[in-house]
Structure 1
Amino acid sequence: MKSLLRSKCEEAMVDVLHRAKNPLTLGEIVVLIHKTAPSLLTGASPTKSLYSMLLRREGFRAKHGVALLFTVSKERGSLLYSLANIK
C-alpha cells in the first residue's frame, strides 16, 4: 500500500499555509516554497506539478478513508488552498 506519510512537497506546503493568514493559490504557494526550498519544485511548470501531486495524494487519502491535508475553495475562478484540521 502506498505510503500515507506526507511528501516533502506536502510538508513544505503545510509550512507555507500554516504561516499564511489566508488561503493561497497554488501559484502563490509555489513562490513561497521556492523562497525556502528552491530545489523541491523544479522543472518547466512547478505549479502544474504541485497540482498533479496534490490531486493524486489527496485522492488516495479520500479513497482510503484517511483525513485530507488540504481544503480547496473557489473564489473568482481561482482555487484557494488552506489547511484542513490536521494534527
Structure 2
Amino acid sequence: MTGLAAVVLLMVLAYAVFSQANREAPVSAAGASNAAVVANLTGVDNVAADRSHDEPLAELGVAPSTDDPAAQAREQAHRQDAAAGK
C-alpha cells in the first residue's frame, strides 16, 4: 500500500512540474523570427500540390489517379477484360 501511495505522489508531483512548465511564456531571442509569421508563409497557393498527396496509391503507381479520365477508362477496360476472361 505504501508503494502505491508513493507512485501516486510521484505522478502528482510530475503533473505539477509539467503543468507549470506549460504555463510559462515562451522565450524569444533577439532577432528571432516570429512563429505566427513563419506559420503563414506557405499560404493557400499550394492547393494543387497538396492534392497530389490525396492519392498515395496513385503516386506509387498501384492504383489509377481519379484526376486522369484516360487512366479511369483504361482501368475500366482492364476490369471488363478480366471479367470476360480475356
- Which of the five TM-score ranges fits, normalised by the shorter chain? under 0.3
Q: Which has the higher strand share?
A: 1
Q: Name the larger-Rg structure.
A: 2
Q: Which has the higher helix share?
A: 2
Greater RCO (Cα-Cα under 8 Å, separation 6 or more): 1
